[in-house]
Chain A
Amino acid sequence: MDAFLLQILNGLDKGSAYALIALGLTLIFGTLGVVNFAHGALFMIGAFCAVTLQRLLNLSFETIDPSQKDFLGNPLKVKTPYIESWFGPDLGGAIIDWSVPLAILFAIPIMIAIGFVMERGLIKHFYKRPHADQILVTFGLAIVLQEVVKYFYGANPIQTPAPDALNGIANLGAIIGMDIVYPVWRIVYFCFSVLIIAAIFAFLQFTTFGMVVRAGMADRETVGLLGINIDRRFTIMFGIAAAVAGLAGVMYTPINPPNYHMGMDFLVLSFVVVVVGGMGSLPGAVLAGFLLGVLESFASTTWATTTLPGINQIIIYVVAIVVLLTRPRGLMGLKGVMED
């Protein structure tokens, strides 16, 4: 039973990443009708926002402390981050320690800006072109973004630790009298993603802006005829979708040190998630994300891998193929969305 719950937990945090990326993909697809192969790159850029902020906060100057000697007998050079000298060692140290959560604030404006530039500068011109062209141009964009990041940050994964307070492990089972020990940050990641998903749904469901966007998803032309500038709202939705992918990336850095091709790795799986969930269905994307995450984690157990070697590597694809062939619209796909 303990192992069972542990596998579910394991699946939920990977599933959260899938769900967040798939949610963004579906938002873009539902509003703009564009298949965005560069979405994985946005996830990756988000992760590198966290890396950048951490580096910025750690910018430091050197002072020579004559009272201490280093191992060669020279006066010791002490590096002090600017932040610590401005805010004092306690607050400054805390700010540096909490750089990953702080990167959320740093990443949101950057990701929204990137989203705007992408939509207005490139994707706008591809609404009328065939889906194959959209796939190809965003695929090219993904390569470019990935290579730019590689140029500035190198090809190796970069460690970005979580704050010390959240870096340990917690015994979750203590409440219900079982022994389930789990890293705190992964729980934080799961809660964070649930929060984001809830926020997106609430935004679409309970605000006037969200109502207009939903109306635009259903019938773009009519909404346009009613005198609403639907294009501008869709651009904003693209920015939000980019921000969601970016935040998923920011928070994922302590779990998996970011490297330049992490986006591509997640992209393929996220597409599979979107297809399984049903193209154009937001709840479907979230549901499929968590389901496939949990499924993958169960397939990685020792029992599963000894019975069917390698099942953990292919389970998601097998499920996707089966779902597509038996329920062509996916789990919660709507009629009339990308039928051909």
Chain B
Amino acid sequence: MFGLNTKDTKSLFIVAFLVVVAPFILNPFPAASAMAQFNAGYPDLMQKFVIFGIFAIGFNILFGLTGYLSFGHAAFLGIGSYSCVWMFKLLGYNVIPGIVLSVIISGIFALAIGFVSLRRSGIYFSILTLAFAQMSFALAYSVLSNPKFNLTNGETGLQVYANDPQWFHRDSLPDLPHLFGLSMRATHKLEIGAWEFQLNAGYYLCALMMLVCFYLAIRIFRSPFGLMLRAVKSNQQRMNYTGLNTRPYTLAAFVISGMYAGLAGGLLSAVDPLAGAERMQWTASGEVVLMTILGGAGTLIGPVLGAGFIKYFENIFSKINDHVLHSWFAFLPDGLEDFVVFLIHPFIGKGWHLTLGILFMLVVIFLPGGLVEGGQRLGKWLHRRKAKDTPSAKTEPAE
């Protein structure tokens, strides 16, 4: 269906189903229970899941297919955010122009940056993109926020003020980002027994975008263009020797992934109309690299998994504190309980980045294919065990 083979259609439908029912399956604990803090089914977090999913899918089109490791993708995220907020400031709070402009502007920037950086490959490419991203960050943070020409509003972050023109804004429309009158913050609370589920308009808009992005990514992966990108990854020199100029292909991949990042940035502004320069810092670029690798670079579903995984655990780990730990390990003898809590303490709460760093190193060292490869290995292992349990019908030849 939609020009996909059966397997891809199935995975697209699985993702679509999961995204639609996410508000329910991410809220497994009743609202009043002590475990409710581990629920992830609230709009803020779910929006982050899908938005960073888009970002990682886009990054994967570049890194997973061509092997070019960009350390500057956060620049496009930031550019997207700023463009979207500017549309809010000029035209009004409808999200459509903002999102469209953020994709276009980040595409233009990606074209310019990609044109320059793709002249080199390998480590040079990483450093060039890193340099560009740091430059954009420095520009956005200080230079472009001088009183004469205030494009980014510096440290405060770009936001909509009461005296902004907002030409198409009417009083009947909500005073927040909206889609033709439907506010992005509109949330329908569904109470079923002890459970409370939140169905949020902003989330479903982002989710729809992510599904479109995911579908496009599948098409790119399966197209001759995607095949060409894979060929670049496996042996660029051989491609050059066959008389093929690879640069237009890699540039196209770079621009596409830049546009994905811009879309993610635009959506970030659409659900929360504030754009700050810290989104462009190179640690933010590092984060999307982490997501993609953790999930599994070069696979379709990996980046989405990685984004969800990192954002979920970032949120959950930051919430666990010593008090919670003590209640978990209360069954242990007192001295031992304190000791266990003491051991775990550095890794939770503010120590989430430590956990993330260790996890990331472990994945790169032992599981270069990320979570997806881990799942496949687990599946194979289970399969083999099952095969061993039920002896095969094949008769062994006698010695």
Contact = CB atoms under 8 A, between A and B. Distances in A.
Contact of B361 (A144, A151, A313): A144
Interface in A12-62: 35
Given A139-B286, A268-B130, A325 B364 contact: no
Interface in B335-357: 346, 351, 353-354, 356-357
B139 A136 contact: no
Contact of A338 (B123, B130, B131, B368): B123
A90 interface: no
A84 B153 CA distance: 53
Interface string B117-131: 001111110111011
Interface in A304-340: 309-310, 313-314, 317-318, 320-321, 324-325, 328, 338, 340
B283 A264 contact: yes
Contacts of A137: 361, 364-365
Contact of A325 (B116, B138, B142): B116
Contact of B146 (A122, A131, A309, A338): A309
A102 B95 CA distance: 60
A135 B69 contact: yes
Interface stretch (A104-112, A240-248, A251-259, A271-279): A271-279
B310 to A, nearest CB: 13
Given A122-B365, A135-B69, A151-B354, 11 more contacts: A133-B364, A139-B286, A140-B358, A140-B361, A144-B354, A147-B354, A271-B130, A272-B131, A309-B143, A310-B139, A318-B135
Interface residues of B, number: 43
Interface string A89-127: 000000000000000000000000000000000100100
Interface string B175-218: 00000000000000000000000000000000000000000000
Contacts of B123: 35, 131, 135, 279, 338
Contacts of B356: 143
Contacts of B141: 313
Interface centre among B69, B120, B357 (most CB of A within 10 A): B357
B351 A147 contact: yes
B38 interface: no
Given A147-B354, A328-B120, A136 B364 contact: yes
B313 interface: no
A268 B351 contact: no
Contacts of B283: 264
B289 A136 contact: yes
Nearest to B138: A313
A140 B127 contact: no
B364 A147 contact: no
B353 A320 contact: no
Contacts of B135: 313-314, 317-318
Nearest to A271: B127
Interface of B: 67, 69, 116, 119-124, 126-128, 130-132, 134-135, 138-139, 141-144, 146, 236-237, 282-283, 286, 289, 293, 346, 351, 353-354, 356-358, 360-361, 364-365, 368
Main secondary structure of the interface of A (DSSP, over half): helix
B67 A132 contact: yes
A313 B142 contact: yes
9 smallest CB-CB distances across A and B, nearest first, come from A310-B143, A143-B357, A147-B354, A313-B138, A140-B361, A144-B357, A140-B360, A317-B135, A317-B131
B171 to A, nearest CB: 39
A137 B290 CA distance: 10
17 contacts: A133-B364, A135-B69, A136-B293, A136-B360, A137-B361, A139-B289, A140-B358, A140-B364, A141-B361, A144-B357, A146-B357, A151-B346, A151-B351, A314-B135, A320-B131, A324-B124, A340-B236
Contacts of B142: 310, 313
B385 to A, nearest CB: 29
Contacts of B289: 136, 139
Given A125-B365, A317-B135, A321-B131, A147 B120 contact: no
Nearest to B67: A132
